[in-house]
Structure 1
Amino acid sequence: MSEEQAIRSVVHLYVDGMAFANEGALRKAFHPSASIVGNSEGAVEWLTRDAFIAAVVAEGPAPPGTQPLMEVEMIHVTDDTASVKVVDEFAGARYSDYLSLLKIDGRWLIINKVWHRHG
């Protein structure tokens, strides 16, 4: 598997984890110290991985048969670091997510997510 394929696999885990409120998938995709940051209703929302996962689980899964939107617009890899831009949907809204990944012990993990909610 190429580095890009391995990164896409983590992004897929993340998008599916969010769409289907799959706590295990999200824990596998994100580093325990990851930050999830974006502007929400005029204020900066800065979440830990666990707070983010709790919010996703509280929202609940998408309806059965849903095909999650996952448009990977950019992947840039430099050795053991990567940046990904992915467009996805969560709770009926469309987002652009900018993910920073780091390869740790041979495994890619999301260490930071900065998001933008489209109007």
Structure 2
Amino acid sequence: MKTILLTAFMLCFWQGIKAQSNIEMENQGETKAITEVIEDYYFKGIYEGDVRLLGKIFHPGTLLFGDVKGQPYFKTIDLYLDGVKNRQSPKDSGKPFKGEILNITIINSIAVVELNVKMYDFNYRDLLSFHKFDGKWIIVNKMLTDLSQ
């Protein structure tokens, strides 16, 4: 009887390990896809001031909330992209720019990504909410705060 119980326990334990392994492997692919969106579109688009790149990864209904220099910040994606288009890009300013992914959390078709973005004289902490639409990860919300103070 002990042998049967031990065998049943080991089979259940092994199945749990295999299921966890499959989830981790799936999330590795999704993490890679999100990382590519951030590096190839988000960071590059911000650095170069390329609203065409940024426009490809933001949902049209995206809202941006946060604070900059202690002041509340709110924009629609259209206002944000217009601001990016009409400012001097970090690339053209000659000032340092560094984007860093701090954390990616994925649950099914949603994800939250924490970033640090140093540009101009700011040190931003961004929280981006992603949703997977038609196989592509799209930013649906952006929250930011200025850590420079």
Q: Give the alignment's TM-score, normalised by structure 2.
A: 0.72
Q: Distance in 2 between matches of 1:33 and 1:84?
A: 18
Alignment gaps of 5+ in structure 1? none
Gaps of 5+ in 2: 1-27
Q: Which structure would you say has the larger RCO, counting Cα contacts within 8 Å and 6 or more residues apart?
A: 1
Q: How big is the shift at 1:44?
A: 2.3
Percent pairwise identity: 27
User: Are 1:32 and 2:74 counterparts?
Assistant: no
Please report the RMSD computed on the Cα atoms of aligned residues, expressed in angstroms: 2.0
Larger Rg: 2
Contact 2:117-2:124 within 8 A present in 1 as well = yes
Partner of 2:34: 7
Runs of 4+ in 1 over 6 A off after TM superposition: none
Partners of 2:69 and 2:146 within 8 A in 1: no
Read off the aligned partner of 1:87 and give its amino acid letter.
Answer: N
Q: Which residue of 2 aligns with 1:89?
A: 118
Preserved CA contact (<8 Å) 2:96 2:119: no
Q: CA deviation at 1:94?
A: 1.0
Instruction: State the aligned residue count.
Output: 119
User: Structure 2 matches for 1:17-28, cutoff 5 A?
Assistant: 17-28=45-56
